[in-house]
């Protein structure tokens, strides 16, 4: 007999994007959600759901918001152990911290250790799906997917490909990048809740020949996603210009090699040229905003309001470990702060949507995760809206759900994660639950 549980509280769902029209009007609140056999079976009042599922176990969550599990659309699990390292900008960060740490992933046992550590940290912060860069080592991809599979998680990842401007121990070739990526794709793509992403790190660490090879692989497997970095820092853009003098702009270094498309994920994308914005919109590529990373390593301020007005799809991400937190709550708070500095105060509905449905849509998983609707996979997070005295005293004065949840977005941490459900199973709870 399938498992059956009803959760009560304030169950948040989205009928549309809160960036299209009144943000508050995009969301709906329900009294309860019914979970059965790993999926959402129904939403409504407790009485109504009890009539359809009289044997279901009922769990009450007063002073809580129940929402889809958080979706982290861009992160680097191999950087778990170096998160919050001091004082570097992008290129120095890679050379000083990232590359030495990624060298350690030649050891499959170390890769497995960090993959397990990362999954536990992510789940403790309410993240139930993530898209990760691995290292050049195929075993690093295997470790990540095995850790996700053991927990029943929906996850996406790919072998990071680099054939120049990195230490010798982190270089592959155009051919080995193609061969390794293809073999990993054939093993993992579409296996259970897992998907493979073709992953050139970024143009400075790939020769044109390697970008060509990965563009060919993507053309052969167009149902895959492709992820890379774009226009993160101004000195990075200058470096790209020196390496690709024939390119019209940074995006053209991907476009010329078959790496611009609707299933492309372009991390950061802070300093875009008008042509790049137009081509991304025409191609349907998605941007991924990484606000704690953008401030932590001094990259710049992503203009969310402008990019949404441009008609671009945008997701939200921690960018672990250039980002300074594993928490999507902290990431939402940083996105709000950057929005303020850019002249637009993002509504709480927009922040929650970015961290759930918006990110799921960039991953082409919006029909499976990121929202709570009948038939969707039951990945949920229960947010305690009174998790600390400071948050509780502000919550007590709230006049509506948005005033009630905003203090948790701005000040919440893993203490606010009362429960996490993955594919219909409760897998992590706070001591208070």
Is the pLDDT reported for residue 429 higher than 70? no
The model's pLDDT over 49-100, given as tens digits with 9 standing for 90+, comes to 999 999 999 999 999 999 999 999 999 999 999 999 998 888 888 989 999 9
* Global confidence as pTM: 0.97
Answer yes or no: CATH 3.40.640.10 is held by domain 4-69+371-429: no
CA 365 from centroid of its chain's CA atoms: 12
Kindly report the average pLDDT of the chain as a whole number. 96
Tell me the pLDDT band of 3, cut-offs 50, 70 and 90. Answer: confident
Residue 241: name the closest of 212, 204, 211 by CA.
Answer: 204
Residue with tokens 């029909």: 367
SS3 content of the chain, % helix, strand, coil (to 5): 45, 25, 35
Domain boundaries, the chain: 4-69+371-429, 70-362
3-state secondary structure of 426: strand
Enumerate residues 6+ apart whose C-beta is below 8 A from 378. 35, 38, 39, 40, 421, 423, 424
Residue with tokens 């992160």: 75
Is the pLDDT reported for residue 433 higher than 90? no
Compute the distance between CA of residue 160 and CA of residue 110 in angstroms, rounded to an integer: 17
Compute the distance between CA of residue 406 and CA of residue 5 in angstroms, rounded to an integer: 28
Name the DSSP letter for residue 97. Answer: I
> CA dist 393 to 244, 385, 396, Å?
55, 10, 5
Helix (H) or strand (E) holding 359: helix 359-362
Q: Tell me which of 3.20.20.140, 3.40.50.1820, 3.30.70.1400, 3.40.50.2300 is the CATH number of domain 70-362.
A: 3.20.20.140
Among 32-41, 80-89, 289-298, which is the least confidently predicted range? Answer: 80-89
Enumerate residues 6+ apart whose C-beta is below 8 A from 136. 102, 159, 160, 161, 162, 170, 171, 172, 177, 180
Residue with tokens 């007005």: 309
């Amino acid at each position: 007999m399938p498992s059956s549980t009803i959760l009560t509280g304030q169950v948040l769902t989205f009928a549309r994007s809160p960036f299209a029209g009144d943000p508050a009007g995009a969301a709906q609140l329900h009294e309860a959600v019914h979970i059965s056999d790993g999926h959402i079976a129904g939403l409504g009042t407790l009485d109504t759901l009890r009539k359809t599922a009289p044997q279901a176990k009922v769990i009450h969550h007063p002073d809580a918001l129940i929402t889809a599990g958080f979706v982290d659309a861009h992160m680097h699990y191999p950087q778990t152990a170096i998160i919050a390292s001091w004082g570097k900008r992008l290129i120095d960060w890679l050379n000083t911290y990232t590359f030495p740490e990624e060298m350690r992933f030649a050891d499959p046992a170390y890769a497995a250790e960090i993959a397990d550590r990362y999954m536990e940290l992510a789940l403790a912060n309410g993240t139930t799906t993530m898209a990760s860069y691995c290292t050049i080592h195929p075993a690093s991809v295997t470790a990540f997917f095995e850790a996700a599979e053991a927990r029943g998680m929906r996850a996406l990842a790919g072998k990071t490909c680099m054939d120049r401007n990195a230490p010798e121990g982190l270089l592959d070739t155009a051919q080995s990048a193609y061969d390794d990526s293809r073999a990993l794709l054939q093993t993992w793509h579409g296996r259970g809740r897992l998907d493979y992403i073709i992953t050139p790190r970024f143009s400075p660490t790939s020769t044109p020949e390697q970008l060509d090879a990965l563009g060919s692989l993507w053309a052969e497997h167009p149902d895959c996603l492709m992820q890379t970095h774009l226009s993160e820092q101004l000195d990075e853009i200058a470096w790209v210009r020196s390496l690709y003098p024939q390119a019209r702009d940074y995006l053209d270094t991907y476009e010329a090699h078959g790496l611009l498309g609707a299933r492309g994920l372009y991390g950061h994308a802070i300093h875009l040229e008008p042509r790049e914005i137009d081509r991304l919109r025409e191609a349907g590529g998605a941007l991924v905003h990484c606000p704690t990373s953008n401030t932590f390593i001094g990259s710049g301020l992503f203009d969310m309001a402008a990019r949404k007005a441009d008609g671009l799809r945008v997701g939200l991400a921690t960018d672990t470990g250039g980002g300074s937190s594993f928490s999507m709550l902290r990431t939402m708070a940083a996105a709000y702060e950057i929005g303020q500095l850019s002249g637009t105060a993002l509504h709480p509905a927009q922040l929650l949507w970015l961290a759930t449905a918006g990110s799921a849509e960039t991953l082409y998983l919006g029909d499976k995760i990121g929202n709570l609707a009948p038939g969707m996979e039951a990945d949920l997070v229960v947010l305690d809206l009174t998790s600390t005295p400071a948050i509780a005293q502000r919550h007590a004065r709230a006049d509506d759900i948005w005033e009630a949840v905003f203090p948790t977005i701005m000040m919440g941490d893993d203490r606010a994660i009362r429960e996490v459900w993955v594919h219909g199973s409760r897998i992590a709870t706070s001591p208070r639950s």
